[in-house]
Structure 1
Amino acid sequence: MELSIATLIIAVVALAVGIVAGKFIFAKDTKRKVDEAELHAQNLIKEAELRAETVRKEKELSAKEKFVQLKAEHEKEVLERNRKVGEGENRIRQKEQGLNQKTEQLERQIKENNAIKENLTRQMDVISLKQAELEKHQEEHTRRLEKLANLTADEAKAQLVESLKQEAHSQALGLQQEIIDEAKQKANKEARKIIIQSIQRTAAEQAIENAITVFNLESDEIKGQIIGREGRNIRAIEAATGVDLIVDDTPEAIILSCFDPLRREIARLSLQRLVTDGRIHPARIEEVVEKTKRQLEEQIMEIGERTVIELGIHGLHKELIRLVGKMRFRSSYGQNLLMHSREVANLCGIMAAELGLNPKLAKRAGLLHDIGKVPDEETELSHALLGAKLAEKYGEVPAVVNAIGAHHDEMEMQFVISPIIQSCDSISGARPGARREIMQQYLQRIKELENLAQAYNGVEKAYAIQAGRELRVIVEADKVTDGDSEKLSFDIAQKIQTEMTYPGQIKVTVIREKRAVNVAR
Structure 2
Amino acid sequence: MITGIIGAVIGFGLVLLLERIRHSPQVNADESSNFEGAERKLRRRMAGRHRHRLGRRRSELSRRSRKVKQLEERIVRAHIDEDEAEAFELARAAFEANQRRHQSLKDRRKHFKRRLETLEGAFQEALAQQAEADPKVLLEQLEESLVDEYQKRSEKIVRQSAQRLESQQERRAREIIHSCAERYADSHFAPRLSTGFRCEKAARGADLLAWSDTLKEARSMEIVASEREGFYSVKGADPWWKEAVRRLAEDLVSGGDLPTGDQLERRLNAISRTMKSVASRCSERSIKALKTGPVEGERRRLLDRLRFRTSYRQNQWRHASEVGFLSGMICWEVGLDGPVGRRGGLLHDIGKSLTHDTEGGHAVLGAEVARAEDEHPGVASCIGSHHGDEPPLGLEPYVVAAGDAISGARPGARYQMGEHHEQRLRELDRITKSPRIVDDAYAVHGGREVRVILHTEDRQGRPIRTSEKQMQTLARSMADQIEAEMEYPGSINVTLIRRVVAQSRAR
Per the normalisation by structure 1, the TM-score is: 0.58
Q: Which amino acid aligns with 1:380?
A: E
Change (3 A) 1:181 1:492: closer
Alpha carbon RMSD of aligned pairs, Å?
A: 3.6
> Which has the greater radius of gyration?
2
Shift, 1:417, TM fit:
0.8
Q: 2:207 aligns with which of 221, 227, 230?
A: 227
Shift, 1:273, TM fit:
5.8
Shift, 1:181, TM fit:
7.0
- 1:198-253 per-position Cα deviation (integer Å, ceiling 9, x unaligned): 22333653558576321568xx59939x939xx976644554444333579999x6
- 1:250-303 per-position Cα deviation (integer Å, ceiling 9, x unaligned): 99x663422444223212443466678956553533332233334433443333
Q: Which amino acid aligns with 1:213?
A: G
Q: 1:351 aligns with which of 324, 327, 330?
A: 330
Partners of 1:242 and 1:263 within 8 A in 2: no
Shift, 1:379, TM fit:
2.7
Change (3 A) 1:484 1:214: same
Which residue is equivalent to 2:243? 265
Q: Which amino acid aligns with 2:204?
A: K
How far apart, CA to CA, are the structure 1 residues paired with 2:450 and 2:202?
57
Per the normalisation by structure 2, the TM-score is: 0.59
Which residue is equivalent to 2:17? none
Change (3 A) 1:424 1:475: same
Q: Secondary structure at the match of 2:453?
A: strand
Q: 2:469 aligns with which of 465, 483, 491?
A: 483
How far apart, CA to CA, are the structure 2 residues paired with 1:476 and 1:221?
61
Which residue is equivalent to 1:212? 195
Partners of 1:371 and 1:387 within 8 A in 2: yes
Q: What are the residue-to-residue correspondences of 1:170-185 with 2, within 5 Å?
A: 183-185=165-167
Which residue is equivalent to 2:171? 189
Change (3 A) 1:278 1:345: same
Partners of 1:222 and 1:275 within 8 A in 2: no
Q: Provide structure 2 residue ranges, at least 5 long, that are not aligned to the other structure.
A: 1-153, 457-462
How many residues are aligned here?
342
1:388 aligns with 2:367: yes
Change (3 A) 1:210 1:320: closer
1:322 aligns with 2:312: no
Q: Which amino acid aligns with 1:243?
A: M
Q: Which amino acid aligns with 2:494?
A: V
Q: Secondary structure at the match of 2:440?
A: strand
How far apart, CA to CA, are the structure 1 residues paired with 2:255 and 2:197?
20
How far apart, CA to CA, are the structure 2 residues paired with 1:436 and 1:368?
23
How far apart, CA to CA, are the structure 1 residues paired with 2:451 and 2:356?
45
1:448 aligns with 2:431: no
Q: Which amino acid aligns with 1:297?
A: K
Q: What are the residue-to-residue correspondences of 1:77-88 with 2, within 5 Å?
A: none
How far apart, CA to CA, are the structure 1 residues paired with 2:422 and 2:355?
36
Q: What are the residue-to-residue correspondences of 1:84-99 with 2, within 5 Å?
A: none
Change (3 A) 1:378 1:517: same
How far apart, CA to CA, are the structure 1 residues paired with 2:281 and 2:475?
50
Q: Provide structure 1 residue ranges, at least 5 long, that are not aligned to the other structure.
A: 1-172
Q: What are the residue-to-residue correspondences of 1:65-84 with 2, within 5 Å?
A: none
Which residue is equivalent to 2:232? 255
Partners of 1:204 and 1:339 within 8 A in 2: no
Q: What are the residue-to-residue correspondences of 1:69-468 with 2, within 5 Å?
A: 183-202=165-184, 205=188, 209=192, 212-215=195-198, 220=201, 223=204, 227=207, 235-237=213-215, 239-246=217-224, 255-259=232-236, 260-271=238-249, 278=256, 280-282=258-260, 283-375=262-354, 378-468=357-447
Q: Which amino acid aligns with 1:245?
A: I
Which residue is equivalent to 1:512? 498
Shift, 1:371, TM fit:
0.9
How far apart, CA to CA, are the structure 2 residues paired with 1:179 and 1:471?
27
Q: Secondary structure at the match of 2:318?
A: helix
How far apart, CA to CA, are the structure 2 residues paired with 1:317 and 1:460?
58
Partners of 1:206 and 1:433 within 8 A in 2: no
Which residue is equivalent to 2:460? none
Change (3 A) 1:201 1:280: same
1:495 aligns with 2:472: no
Shift, 1:474, TM fit:
1.1
Which residue is equivalent to 2:16? none
1:474 aligns with 2:453: yes
